Amino acid sequence: MKHVVITGGSRGIGAAAVRALLEEGYFVSTCSRAPTEHIRCFETDPALRERFYYQPFDLARIEEYERFLDACVARGGPLYGLVNNAGIAQAGVLATFPLVDCERIVRVNLIGPLALSRAAARHFLRHRRGGRIINISSIIGSRGYTGLSAYSASKAGLDGLTRSLARELGRIGVTVNSIAPGYVRTDMSAALSQEDLQQIVRRTPLGRLGEAADTVALLKFLLSEGAGFITGQVIFVDGGLSC
């Protein structure tokens, strides 16, 4: 059974991904700062709970990453995939944006995935069975957005990690890719005003906001055998907004 670790599985895109991967037959490990109804549902469903592991874990605690991954491997077996999904966003123009919030965003969205990818890379190098690393980025990492400089910088950094790590791990059959969603209907985008959301929909060729399922569909493909020759890419899932 293939084991995938996905961060931030308690809500939004992460929760949808956990459910989809459990339904595909993967063993899925996940974390978040606090459990939610989704987590309780995965832990109690008789058809899913044997292939599910949850640990409360704050991704800002970089020194505990190796231990977190070890605990996942102890439950789910050797790692096949790592999905760096957890992320935070906070709006505000940079000139007045508190430095402490800049630091927190970069820590959770970039340093965390970097540290967890490092731990996963060590695991992949030891086991040499190939594998997958998928970073959930954002179109804002490539295009920018007024009031989201720290978030944008963290996602651009994540895409840089994708490209370099793809080169480092290609020779052992590990692919590394970024998925860059547009605006997805989750708690994170709920902070946008109705006016902003309507403008985004108007500018999107496919005429709607993204759903978690749109991102999860690509995630499932990138985890599949069929995606084994795709690496180092940043793939947009944005209804054509950035075309």
The residues of the shown chain that bind ligand NAP, judged by CB under 6 A, are 7-8, 10-14, 31-34, 57-60, 85-89, 108, 136, 138, 181, 183-184, 186-189
**Torsions phi, psi for 208 (to 5 deg):** -160, 170
Contact 24, 225 (CB under 8 A): no
CA–CA distance, 173 with 146 (Å, rounded to integer):
39
Cα 110 to the center of its chain, rounded Å: 11
Amino acid at 124: F
The nearer residue to ligand NAP, 88 or 201, going by C-beta atoms, is 88
CB of 86 to ligand NAP, least distance (A): 3
Catalytic (active site) residue 151: yes
Nearer to ligand NAP by Cβ, of 159 and 170: the residue is 159
The nearest distance, CB 56 to ligand NAP, in angstroms, is: 8
Tokens of 89: 């966003």
Name the amino acid, one letter, at 49.
R
Cβ neighbours of 130 (radius 10 Å): 14
Relative orientation angle of helices 112-127 and 65-76, to the nearest 10 degrees: 50
Catalytic one of 26, 53, 80, 151: 151
Residues 6+ apart with CB under 8 A from 214: 181, 184, 237, 239
Return the number of the residue (183 or 229) whose C-beta is nearest ligand NAP: 183
**CA-to-CA distance for 138 and 178, rounded, in angstroms?**
9
Least Cβ distance, residue 209 to ligand NAP (angstroms): 8
Q: Please provide residue 125's backbone torsions phi and psi, each rounded to the nearest 5 degrees.
A: -65, -35
Tell me how far, at minimum, the Cβ of 88 lies from ligand NAP, in Å.
5
Q: Which is nearer to ligand NAP, 79 or 108 (CB)?
A: 108
CB-nearer residue toward ligand NAP: 138 or 204? 138
CB of 201 to ligand NAP, least distance (A): 13
Contact between 138 and 237 (Cβ < 8 Å): no
Annotated catalytic residues are 151
